[in-house]
Chains A and B, each alone.
Chain A
Amino acid sequence: MAKELTMEQKGKRAQANLVANHIFRNAVCVFLCLLSIVPFWILFVNSTRDSVAIQSGLSLIPSTHFFENVEKLLYQCNENVPLWRYMVNSFVIAGFSTILTVYFSTMTAYGVNVYKFKGSKFAWAFIMAIMMIPAQVSSIGFFRFMYQMGLGNNYIPLIIPAIASPSTIFFMKQYMESALPLEIVDAARIDGSGEFKTFNEIAVPLMKPAVATQAIFAFIASWNNFYTPSMILTGQDKYTLPMFVQLMRGERFRSDYGIIYVGLVITILPIFVVYFALSKYIIAGVALGGVKE
């Protein structure tokens, strides 16, 4: 009798435990989501308030001064370089870098994967070996060399190096091994297709999903890059968006709270849009990229 009761109790308790567990875990997750969103929410709310209100206390309800702040910011910027200029600059650099990264990484992966040539094994081992060397360790030499070649304040040092992106090549090769059967290449050859034509017209389309994922990451990485542009660029009209963020730390923008918050909102807005539109692919890409073994 007693045993039966305990069994029932046990079952109930387990059930209750499960529910409690469920609630607890959801609560933690909701808290973490809030942690992610609250700083940005405060940022957004403050961008809609005027400077005096911001200083007098915290609010979580948007106010009505957003466009006023935007106007002030644009005015501040227009005295030098209009705000859109930084965006266009960032977009140009990130856009070209992305195209070069995915195209040439696919090409390199194709070269290593499809052709058996003397040194192909070594080439692959080499690419793997340099994957982990970050650009920062050679930045002194990079900077001096670029200036010696007359490429200071130029976009070339920011765009062309994107061609050599070992981690993208790594990802592309992984994907290629499963998505591009060598028979297809052979079949194309029999049809008389040239090697580069085969690559451009058959291999690249087959690689589309991988190209899309890597393109998103390459774009975001280049868009967010602050280290190299801040070293290479010297004229304000060539600055990128993260460099504009650095300028906002300077004295010129710090006279008004609203301006700085609205400036930050404008810098992250494009990324927000891209992220929420493509989050599914991005997260799938991260999961894929992580399981490299």
Chain B
Amino acid sequence: MKKNKHKTVEYGRYGYFFIAPFFLVFAIFQLWPLIYTIGLAFCENYTDTMFNVEIGPTFNGLANLKDVLISKDGKLFDTYTCHALGNTLIMWALNFLPQILLALLLAVWFTDTKVKLSGQGAYKVMVFMPNIITAATIAVLFYSLFNYPNGPVNQILTSTGLLDEPYRFFNSKWATRGLISFINFWMWYGNTMIVLTAGVLGISPSLFEAARVDGATSWQIFKKVTLPLLRPIMLFTLVNSAIGGLQMFDIPKLLTTSGYGDPDYTTRTMTMYIRDLAFTGSKQVGKASAASLVLFVVTLFFSLILFYIMRDKDAIAEKKQIKKAQKAIAARKGAN
């Protein structure tokens, strides 16, 4: 017995060897860069273009953060950084809403036992496909498709008489944002659909049967059974998509003509903005780091939501029961 215990302890130490590479690489390539970035956010560090001299890094407290969050005339959030964050969130929301709705619809259809869709496998393969194609390629492809004046889309629109003359999609803020959102939607709804389908399939069939026996319509079943049980997965998808969406780079970067978020920076995302700040003009590394910090905090916010969703279910259920019981007790007391 004693010997045995000794043995497990001895083996336990191997655990460190097994996880060491991960932590070593994480520390060097992720943790230190993150700390470094956060550190630079509190430093003055840029290049004086006139004589190409790097200034800093020297500690300057919250100056960068102030710069990033408050405009020169003192308006909160009226800065290029916050506009970039706003663009990112707008384009993410515009793609996520239709994405989750369509994915949900398809998930219900694909799991419907009454109207059985044949060829589901093929549909899934086709619909998921854009998700794995190189985003850079897709961006350039759509740039070519929506090109002015001779891109295929303009050719269709003018030859069918829908438009009198070609339209400059990339000169219009909402057309460009819409296009970026559409591409993201188009690339991701297949993925979400597969995840949600798996989620629906994970719901115990007896629940659906019971509902049907009780005479519930398909809509009622969807509303009362499928949706509530799918909620955690949907929330997971939402948060995952938001965190991914916040890092949006390849498509807006390569879709517009200049690569700086045409027209007029309305499609410049947070990551594009950080790269612009740090690598062009005055190479404002300090300010770019402060913007990174903002991005980090917003991402963290979404991650915490995810953590909240994914915490131990049984514990939640238990807590709920306890609360219920407490309420019941309180109610009884009140009645007394």
Q: Does a CB–CB distance below 8 Å link A and B in the complex?
A: yes
Interface residues of A (CB under 8 A from B): 18, 21-22, 25-26, 29, 32-33, 35-37, 39-40, 42-43, 46, 54-55, 57-58, 104-105, 107-108, 110-112, 114-118, 120, 123, 127, 129-130, 132-145, 157, 160-161, 163-164, 169, 189, 195-196, 199, 220, 223-224, 226-227, 231, 241-243, 245-246, 248-249, 257, 260-261, 264, 267-268, 271-272, 275-276, 279-280, 282-283, 286-293
Q: A132 to B117, alpha carbons, bound, how many Å? A: 36
Report A-chain residues with C-beta under 8 Å of the C-beta of B145: 39, 42
Q: A195 to B121, alpha carbons, bound, how many Å? A: 42
Residue of A nearest to B296 (CB): A137
Q: Is B336 an interface residue (CB 8 A)?
A: no
User: Does the CB pair A141–B194 fall under 8 Å?
Assistant: no
With A25-B109, A157-B29: A241-B134 Cβ-Cβ less than 8 Å: yes
User: Does the CB pair A116–B8 fall under 8 Å?
Assistant: yes
Report A-chain residues with C-beta under 8 Å of the C-beta of B23: 123, 164
Q: A257 to B307, alpha carbons, bound, how many Å? A: 48
With A287-B194, A287-B195, A293-B310: A140-B37 Cβ-Cβ less than 8 Å: yes
Report A-chain residues with C-beta under 8 Å of the C-beta of B247: 134, 136
Residue of A55, A143, A189, A290 most packed against chain B (CB within 10 A): A290
Bits for B248-282, please: 1 = Cβ < 8 Å to A, else 0.
01100110000100000000000100110011000
Report A-chain residues with C-beta under 8 Å of the C-beta of B32: 141, 145
With A111-B19, A123-B19, A134-B243: A160-B278 Cβ-Cβ less than 8 Å: no
Q: Is B191 an interface residue (CB 8 A)?
A: yes
Report A-chain residues with C-beta under 8 Å of the C-beta of B289: 140-141
Q: A189 to B336, alpha carbons, bound, how many Å? A: 65
Report A-chain residues with C-beta under 8 Å of the C-beta of B202: 291
Report B-chain residues with C-beta under 8 Å of the C-beta of A32: 106, 123, 126-127
User: Does the CB pair A286–B191 fall under 8 Å?
Assistant: yes
CB B335 to nearest CB in A, in angstroms, measures: 39
User: Does the CB pair A138–B233 fall under 8 Å?
Assistant: no
Main secondary structure on chain A at its contact with chain B? helix
User: Does the CB pair A145–B144 fall under 8 Å?
Assistant: no
Contact of B25 (CB < 8 Å), options: A35, A161, A189: A161
Q: A116 to B16, alpha carbons, bound, how many Å? A: 10
User: Does the CB pair A283–B124 fall under 8 Å?
Assistant: yes
Residue of A130, A139, A231, A245 most packed against chain B (CB within 10 A): A139
Q: Is B169 an interface residue (CB 8 A)?
A: no
Residue of B17, B143, B237, B310 most packed against chain A (CB within 10 A): B17
The 10 closest A-B pairs by CB, nearest first: A111-B18, A290-B195, A115-B15, A141-B36, A141-B37, A141-B33, A287-B198, A142-B33, A132-B303, A117-B12
Q: Is B63 an interface residue (CB 8 A)?
A: no
Residue of A nearest to B12 (CB): A117
User: Does the CB pair B133–A140 fall under 8 Å?
Assistant: no
Residue of B19, B130, B190 most packed against chain A (CB within 10 A): B19
User: Does the CB pair A58–B195 fall under 8 Å?
Assistant: no
Report B-chain residues with C-beta under 8 Å of the C-beta of A163: 21-22, 25
User: Does the CB pair A287–B197 fall under 8 Å?
Assistant: yes
User: Does the CB pair B152–A140 fall under 8 Å?
Assistant: no
User: Does the CB pair A245–B137 fall under 8 Å?
Assistant: yes
Q: A161 to B28, alpha carbons, bound, how many Å? A: 9
Residue of A nearest to B306 (CB): A132
User: Does the CB pair B133–A271 fall under 8 Å?
Assistant: yes
CB A48 to nearest CB in B, in angstroms, measures: 14
Contact of A130 (CB < 8 Å), options: B30, B115, B249: B30
Give me 26 A-to-B residue pairs in the complex whose CB atoms sit less than 8 angstroms apart, sorted by A's number. A22-B115, A33-B127, A39-B142, A107-B22, A111-B15, A111-B16, A115-B12, A129-B307, A133-B30, A137-B34, A137-B295, A138-B296, A139-B292, A141-B289, A164-B26, A164-B30, A199-B18, A226-B254, A249-B254, A261-B144, A271-B133, A282-B132, A283-B125, A286-B128, A287-B197, A291-B233
Report B-chain residues with C-beta under 8 Å of the C-beta of A246: 136, 254
Residue of A nearest to B190 (CB): A36
User: Does the CB pair A115–B128 fall under 8 Å?
Assistant: no
CB B280 to nearest CB in A, in angstroms, measures: 13
User: Does the CB pair A248–B140 fall under 8 Å?
Assistant: yes
With A139-B274, A195-B14, A286-B191: A245-B34 Cβ-Cβ less than 8 Å: no
CB B15 to nearest CB in A, in angstroms, measures: 3
Q: A280 to B121, alpha carbons, bound, how many Å? A: 8
Q: A33-B123, A141-B39 are in contact. List 4 more A-B contacts (CB 8 A).
A: A35-B186, A117-B16, A220-B132, A227-B249
Report B-chain residues with C-beta under 8 Å of the C-beta of A123: 19, 23
Q: Is B141 an interface residue (CB 8 A)?
A: yes
User: Does the CB pair A271–B132 fall under 8 Å?
Assistant: yes
Contact of A116 (CB < 8 Å), options: B15, B142, B243: B15
User: Does the CB pair A115–B18 fall under 8 Å?
Assistant: yes
With A25-B115, A32-B123: A268-B137 Cβ-Cβ less than 8 Å: yes
Contact of B303 (CB < 8 Å), options: A36, A133, A224, A287: A133
